[in-house]
Structure formats: C-alpha cells, structure tokens
C-alpha cells in the first residue's frame, strides 16, 4: 500500500471512529430528549433553543463524517459542540486529573482534537465529496 493510500485510510479510520462515537451520544439524545441540555443552557442565561444545536453536533455532523459528505464542516460542527459541552458541563474538571492519573476530560479532549484534525486534514479519498 502506498503512502497516499495509507494516509487516506487513516483519515477514514479517524472519520469512522469520531462519527460513530459521537453519533451514539446523539442517538441517546434522540431517545431521551433534550430536557437536561435545555436546562443547562437556560441555567447559563442562554436561550433554550440552543439546546437543539446538540442535534446538529451529535447527529447531523457525525453522519457527515461517516459518509465523508462535507466532512470538514461536520468536523467543525463536532468541535464547536465539544466546546459547548466542555463549557456547559465540564468546566470544573478542566484542570483535574482522574483516579488513574489521566486528564479528567480526556474523552472530550480526544473528541475535540480529533474533530480539529479532520477539519484540517480533510476526509481523504474514501469520502463522498473528498473535500
């Protein structure tokens, strides 16, 4: 396998991993509703309709990543979603370590920085629109 093919395959692996893992969170929101998210948004003095942005960040954007359809835009949406999640839910853990010595926000950080990498690298050759 040549270098370009390996890079494209690596981009596919990143897209599938991020898209599938974030989509699971979105499916949970679809099943259980957005009430808790809306409560957090309202508690911060923000308009409640912003809670529906989680559907863009955890359902629409992951599907864009999985199919490689405007994957860079999908990745940016996921990154923005993760910034909101960190700000609304996890800000108190920003400088904390977990019981195993890792960063308390390692999962959120991995989602955020993987999304940024996809936004920068693009979706690769194995995508619907390859941009």
What is the span of the domain harbouring residue 80? 3-121
pLDDT of residue 130: 72
Residue 31 belongs to a domain = yes
Q: Using CB atoms within 10 Å of the CB of residue 120, give its burial: 0 to 12 exposed, 13 to 18 middle, 19+ buried.
A: exposed
Residue 105 belongs to a domain = yes
Beta bridge partner(s), residue 103: 97
Evaluated on CA atoms 127, 129, 130, 131, the torsion sign reads negative
Rounded to an integer, what distance in angstroms lies between the CA atom of residue 15 and that of residue 57? 14
Residue 70 belongs to a domain = yes
Residue 38 belongs to a domain = yes
Q: Count of domains in the chain? A: 1
Residue 126 belongs to a domain = no
Residue 83 belongs to a domain = yes
Model pTM score: 0.93
**Per-residue confidence band for 131, with pLDDT thresholds at 50, 70 and 90:** low
pLDDT of residue 129: 87
Q: Which tens digits make up the pLDDT trace of 57-73?
A: 999 999 999 999 999 99
CB atoms within 10 A of CB 108: 18
Q: Which tens digits make up the pLDDT trace of 13-51?
A: 999 999 999 999 999 999 999 999 999 999 999 999 999
Residue 127 belongs to a domain = no
């Amino acid at each position: 396998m040549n270098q370009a093919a390996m890079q494209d395959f690596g981009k596919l692996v990143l897209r599938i991993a991020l898209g599938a893992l974030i989509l699971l969170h979105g499916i949970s929101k679809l099943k259980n509703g957005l009430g808790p998210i809306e409560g957090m948004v309202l508690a911060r003095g923000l308009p409640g309709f912003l809670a529906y942005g989680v559907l863009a960040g955890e359902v629409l954007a992951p599907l864009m990543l999985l199919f490689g359809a405007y994957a860079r835009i999908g990745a940016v949406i996921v990154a923005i979603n993760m910034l909101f999640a960190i700000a609304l839910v996890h800000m108190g853990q920003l400088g904390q370590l977990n019981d195993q010595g890792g960063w308390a926000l390692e999962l959120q950080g991995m989602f955020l920085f993987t999304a940024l990498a996809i936004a920068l690298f693009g979706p690769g050759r194995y995508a619907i629109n390859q941009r």
